[in-house]
Amino acid sequence: MRLYKHLVSICCFLVLFNCNKEQKIGFSDINITADNNTIVDVNIPEAHGDKTVSNQINSEIQKAIISALHIGNPDEITSSSLEESITSFNNEYNGFKSDFPETAQLWEAQIDGEVMYQSPEIISIAMTSYTNTGGAHGILNISFLNFDSKTGQRIQNNQIFNDAEAFKTVAHPFFIDATKNKNLLIDYKQFELPTNIGYSEEGIVLLYNTYEIAPYSSGILELAIPFGDAEPYLVFNSF
């Protein structure tokens, strides 16, 4: 009887171990396109492994791309898939060419994603989009998507820190050091964290997109707070 119980315990352990192995989320790079597409290029990481978790992550990535390709009011997005969104972008361009046949302006959209960081607790993905729809210059935007590794749910910025104000105090000197030689007109007393915060191998990344703190010509500002400095204020471990 004892031997039977011992064998049952071992079997249960092996089942749990194998289930945990299957739970791990992996990523592969994929290219998404649509019929008759000539101006949109989408290269993104696709999550696989636990179906519930991976589906949740992939759904959020797709929402970000659909939003990036949408032209017009962001509250009026109707596309329900990446392929539909790519087709809609092409159709908008064809309509533009029909209305202005004499223009030589070409539209384009390039969207790339990469996994910045992955641990048993958190996954950070960077989405870089560049769209040009005939303006003086294209629009470059980088957004960070943070996910709970166990559930696949999005993690908002206010969920990253246990004390955001204390973290700001730590981050402020790094911000000053990153901007002091850029001749930017910044009120350092009004320091705020950016819209995009994520994990990387270098630490907690703060990324300010164009226009977020300075004119277009200043470009994107990115800085990293080492984990040694940030760890006391993080809800999710970096290991």
Average pLDDT of the chain to the nearest whole number: 88
Instruction: Write the DSSP string, 196-227.
Output: EEEEETTEEEEEE-TTSSS-GGG--EEEEE-H
φ, ψ at 196 (rounded to 5°): -110, 115
Contact 218, 184 (CB under 8 A): yes
From the list 149, 150, 167, the residue with the least C-alpha distance to 158 is 167
On the question of pLDDT at 69 being above 80, the answer is yes
Q: What is the pTM of this model?
A: 0.86
The whole-number pLDDT of residue 136 equals: 72
Q: Where is pLDDT greater, at 189 or 236?
A: 236
Domains and CATH numbers, the chain: 26-155 (3.30.565.40), 159-239 (3.90.640.20)
Buried b (16+ CB within 10 A) or exposed e, 44-68: bbbbbbbeebbebbbebbbebbbeb
Q: Which residue has the tokens 């940030």?
A: 230
pLDDT digits (tens, 9 = 90+) for 5-33: 454 444 444 444 444 444 589 999 999 99
Q: How far apart are CA 86 and CA 44, in angstroms?
A: 14
Q: Residue 122's Cα: distance from chain center in Å?
A: 13
On the question of pLDDT at 187 being above 80, the answer is no
